[in-house]
Amino acid sequence: MKRFPHAATVSSKVLGGKLNFPNGITAQNRFMKAAMTERLATYSLDDFKNHGLPTEQILNIYDKWGHGQFGMIITGNVCVDPINLEAAGNAIIFKEGESSKRRNLFSQWAQKIKQDGSLAIMQLSHAGRQASVFVNPTPYGVSDIELKTDPPGSMYGKPIALTTDQIKTEVVDRFVYAAKFAYECGFDGVQLHGAHGYLLTQFTSPTTNNRNDKYGGSIENRNRVIIEIYDEIRKEIPETSGFLIGIKTNSKEFQDKGTTVEDAKQMCIEYEKRGFDFVELTGGTAEKFVFAHQRESTVIREAFFVEFAETIRPVFKNTVVYLTGGFRTTGAMVDAITRNTTQGIGLGRPATAEPDLPKKLLNGDVPSAVKDEFNPNDMIKQIMASGSQIEQMARNSVEGAGGNVMDQITDYSDEKMVALFTEKAAQLFVDAAKDALAGKIPKNIVIMN
Ligand SMILES: Cc1cc2nc3c(=O)[nH]c(=O)nc-3n(C[C@H](O)[C@H](O)[C@H](O)COP(=O)(O)O)c2cc1C
C-alpha cells in the first residue's frame, strides 16, 4: 500500500490531545470523520414508513469507523425532508415517517459510532435545488434559480421558491424535529449542512438567493434561517443537555458572485455569538467542485482551504473549529494545529481507504494516508471510488470480517485497481443513463456532497 510522501517523521502526539467544547463535552482527540453520503438506506417514496430507514449495511459501515479512534464521527447527510433528497438511499428523519422502528435503527447507528468513545454527530441536510432530479424534478429552493452544472447536464430540476411561511414549516420545523429525534436516539449532537450548495447554502449565497423578504438581501438576512434553526433547536434541547450543535460552512464558494470570505466571516461571527459548539470549514458547491487545490500556495500545507481558514479563525473564541479537505500527512495536520489554523482535522476520502486511519496515525504505525493513483484533479472519479469503498465497508460487520476493518476495501494505490475501477465506472455511467431513460433511479453514482 503506497502512502503520501512526508517530509520528516513527526510525532502525532498533538493530534491525540482532547478537544473541549463550550458546553463541557470533550472529544477524545482531534480527528473528525467528515460526512460522506452512504446512499444505502431504504428508498420507498410511496410508503413513507419504510422510506429512508438505516439498514444493516449502514450499521456495518459505522461499526468499522467506530473502531477507528476518531474524536468525532459525522454521519453522511441525513435528510430532514422525505422528497428533497440529495440522492435515493439517503437516511431520512421526518415527522410523516415517525415510528419506533426508525427510532430503534437510528439508536443502533449512534451506538455503533460510540463504541470506542467517538462522539456521534448526525449531519442534517435539506438538498433544496440540489435534490436529485430522479427523486424530485421540482424541488423546493430558496429562489427559482436552477442549478447549472459544468459540464452541463440535467441532473437537477427547476426549483420552486419557498414562501416565507414555508421557510418555517418546511425548513426550520423539519430541522428541529430531526435534531430532537437524533438527541432522543442517543446522538451527541447534530451538524447543520451549510456547505457545498445544499439548501442552507442556497440561503446564504447571493448566486441562489434573490429573495426580497427577511431571508434575502443583506448577509444578516441570508444567514437568518440558520440562526432560527439554531435557536429553535436550543429551545427544545438546551445547552445544559450537553447536546452539540455544529455547522459545516463554506469558507469561500470559488464562483462568480458566490459567498466571499468576508461573507463567511460575518456568518461565523454570528455562529460564535449565538453559541454554536463547533464549525467545520470547507468550500465549493456542485456548480464548482473544489475538493482539490485551487492555489499552488496551499499544496505544501495540504489543506485546500487553509488560507481562508486563517482569515476566519480569529473570529472564534469558544466555538471549536475543524478544517476539512486535503489533509493527508501527520506533518501537515500537526502543523495546522500547532499554528492554530484549526483545532480539529476533518478526514473524508482517507477515511474510506482506511476506516481506522486515526488509530494508525496516533500509534505512529503510519505517517500518512494511502496515496491513490487517481488523477488528483479527477474529483468525480475519486469521489465515486470513495463511495465504492463505503459500499465495501458495508458488506460485513467488524465481527463478520474477523475483526479486520479493512475487509474488502479496494487499495487504489494499486494502478491496476484504478484501471479496473475506471472501466467499471464508465459502464456505471452507461447503465445509469439507460436507467434514467427508462425512468428508473440510477442508484450508485456518487456525485458530490
Ligand atoms: C463519497 C463522498 C461523499 C460525501 N458526502 C458528503 C456529505 O454527505 N456531506 C458533506 O458535508 N460532505 C460530503 N462529502 C465531502 C467530505 O465531507 C469532505 O468535505 C471532502 O471529501 C474533502 O475532504 P477530503 O479531502 O479529506 O476528502 C463527501 C465526500 C465524498 C468523497
Residue 220 lies in a domain: yes
- Mean pLDDT, residues 9-22 taken together: 95
Residue 330 lies in a domain: yes
CA of 76 to the centre of ligand 1 (A): 8
Distance, in Å, from the CA atom of 385 to the CA atom of 404, rounded to the nearest integer, reads: 20
pLDDT of residue 252: 64
Residue 8 lies in a domain: no
| Lowest pLDDT segment from 4-18, 89-103, 337-351 | 4-18
Ligand 1 binding pocket includes 77 (Cβ within 6 Å): yes
pLDDT of residue 449: 33
CA of 241 to the centre of ligand 1 (A): 29
Residue 254 has pLDDT above 80, yes or no: no
Residue 158 has pLDDT above 80, yes or no: yes
Residue 228 lies in a domain: yes
Total residue length of the chain: 449
- Mean pLDDT, residues 153-169 taken together: 90
Query: With contact defined as beta carbons under 8 Å apart, do 204 and 142 qualify?
Result: no
Distance, in Å, from the CA atom of 73 to the CA atom of 362, rounded to the nearest integer, reads: 16
**What is the rounded (10 degree) CA torsion for 258, 35, 366, 415?**
-80
Distance, in Å, from the CA atom of 12 to the CA atom of 331, rounded to the nearest integer, reads: 8
* Rounded percentage of the chain residues whose pLDDT exceeds 90: 77
Query: With contact defined as beta carbons under 8 Å apart, do 325 and 381 qualify?
Result: no
Query: Tens digit of pLDDT for each residue in 291-332?
Result: 555 555 556 678 888 888 899 999 999 999 999 999 999 999
CA of 36 to the centre of ligand 1 (A): 5
- Mean pLDDT, residues 179-199 taken together: 96
- Mean pLDDT, residues 278-292 taken together: 69
Residue 166: give the domain boundaries: 13-437
Query: With contact defined as beta carbons under 8 Å apart, do 199 and 127 qualify?
Result: yes
Residue 444 has pLDDT above 60, yes or no: no
CA of 448 to the centre of ligand 1 (A): 7
pLDDT of residue 303: 82
Residue 449 lies in a domain: no
Contacts of 415 (CB under 8 A, 6+ apart): 373
Residue 152 has pLDDT above 80, yes or no: no
pLDDT of residue 409: 97
Number of domains in the chain: 1
- Mean pLDDT, residues 358-370 taken together: 97
Residue 133 lies in a domain: yes
Contacts of 231 (CB under 8 A, 6+ apart): 274
Contacts of 317 (CB under 8 A, 6+ apart): 272
Ligand 1 binding pocket includes 449 (Cβ within 6 Å): yes
DSSP H/E element including 120 = strand 119-125
Residue nearest to atom 6 of ligand 1 (CA): 36
| Lowest pLDDT segment from 5-14, 115-124, 387-396 | 5-14
| Lowest pLDDT segment from 130-144, 156-170, 285-299, 378-392 | 285-299
Question: What CATH number is attached to the domain comprising 308?
Answer: 3.20.20.70
Ligand 1 binding pocket includes 76 (Cβ within 6 Å): yes
Query: Tens digit of pLDDT for each residue in 39-51?
Result: 999 999 999 999 9
Residue nearest to atom 31 of ligand 1 (CA): 383
Residue nearest to atom 18 of ligand 1 (CA): 348
Residue 164 CB neighbours (<10 A): 10
Model confidence at 446, pLDDT cuts 50, 70, 90, reads very low
pLDDT of residue 425: 83
Contacts of 40 (CB under 8 A, 6+ apart): 55, 57, 58, 61, 89, 390, 391, 394
Higher-pLDDT residue of 432 and 255 is 432
Q: Is the peptide bond before 355 cis (omega within 30 degrees of 0)?
A: no
Query: With contact defined as beta carbons under 8 Å apart, do 119 and 31 qualify?
Result: no
Distance, in Å, from the CA atom of 358 to the CA atom of 190, rounded to the nearest integer, reads: 22
Dihedral class, residue 254 (left if φ above 0, else alpha if ψ from -120 to 50, else beta) = left
Residue 446 lies in a domain: no
Residue 5 lies in a domain: no
